[in-house]
Amino acid sequence: MAQHHRLQAWDWESPMSFQYQYQYQHLYQGEQGEACKELMFEKPLTPSDVGKLNRLVIPKQHAERYFPLDGVSGEKGLLLSLEDDSGKIWQFRYSYWTSSQSYVLTKGWSRFVKEKRLDAGDVVLFERRRVDGDRLYIGCRHRGDPAATNTAAGPWNTPYYASSVSVQHQYSSLHAEEQRDETGVHKSETVAPSNSKRLRLFGVNLDYWPEPEPEPVQASTSWLI
């Protein structure tokens, strides 16, 4: 099965197999309950969405329904973590631009466009998936494709590190590696949720850190789902 294939790839890439088995288990449960996938909205991409502006405009009606910023606005927005078909975690800065009166994904979006090879007319879609908690999902469908498939290179093509989105307050293995590299001492303790805040988003109560990690491709969960 494809799932086993991915699991093997992860095992091969990282020594922290526990997390990945844990994550795999959740994916498996998710596939058992297909009814738990709820499409929130889709957007056909405009030329600007895939161009040099490096931002995705979220249509206002969808943004205000699924991504309300009322409780957190006035600041620089927040960091959103979403998972794609392959289990990869994508982090985007999500904020409101008063100048254009629009909700946008900025930081991290251009990487998504590039890796998924998105073009104008392709469709990006956002789902909420109930597994044993709620999880956010981002996918895309290329122009002309019949189904919403994720055509991105999987972990067997593009090595990457995924954080656990199920284990709360657990830094990813990559992050632990970085800490060890910097200090020369491996810090294996889980980090206390000292700075976490609580926000209702997607109709779900969520914990997050306002500005947790600068590097979006690599792991470390800011949104605990």
Partner DNA sequence: CACTGAACCTGCTGG
Partner DNA sequence: TCCAGCAGGTTCAGT
Say how many residues make up the chain.
225
Q: Extract the tokens encoding 138.
A: 């981002």
The C-alpha atoms of residue 36 and residue 205 are separated, in whole angstroms, by: 17
CA angle, corner 15, sides to 224 and 161, nearest 5? Answer: 45
Minimum distance, C-beta of residue 91 to DNA, in the bound complex (Å): 10
Q: Check binding of 95 to DNA (CB under 7 A).
A: yes
Q: Which of 2, 8, 18, 60 binds DNA (CB under 7 A)?
A: 60
Which 8-47 positions form the footprint of DNA (CB under 7 A)? 46-47
Q: Check binding of 109 to DNA (CB under 7 A).
A: yes
Q: Which of 53, 167, 176, 204 binds DNA (CB under 7 A)?
A: 53
Minimum distance, C-beta of residue 184 to DNA, in the bound complex (Å): 17
Q: Check binding of 61 to DNA (CB under 7 A).
A: yes
Q: Check binding of 149 to DNA (CB under 7 A).
A: no
Q: Check binding of 183 to DNA (CB under 7 A).
A: no
Q: Which of 17, 25, 110, 151 binds DNA (CB under 7 A)?
A: 110
- The runs of H, that is alpha helices, within the chain are 2-13, 17-32, 60-66, 109-116, 173-183
List all residues 6 or more positions away from 144 whose beta carbon is below 8 Å from its beta carbon.
Answer: none
Minimum distance, C-beta of residue 172 to DNA, in the bound complex (Å): 18
Minimum distance, C-beta of residue 14 to DNA, in the bound complex (Å): 21
Q: Which of 16, 216, 223, 224 binds DNA (CB under 7 A)?
A: 216
Q: Check binding of 117 to DNA (CB under 7 A).
A: no
Q: Helix or strand or coil: residue 212?
A: coil
SS3 per residue for 39-79: EEEEEECCCCCCCCCCCEEECHHHHHHHCCCCCCCCCCCEE
Q: Which is nearer to DNA, 99 or 183 (CB)?
A: 99
Q: Which of 74, 144, 146, 184 binds DNA (CB under 7 A)?
A: 74
Q: Extract the tokens encoding 174.
A: 């990559």
3-state DSSP: the chain helix, strand, coil percent, rounded to 5? 25, 25, 50
Residues that bind DNA (CB under 7 A): 46-49, 51-55, 57, 59-61, 74, 76, 93, 95-102, 104, 106-111, 114, 214, 216
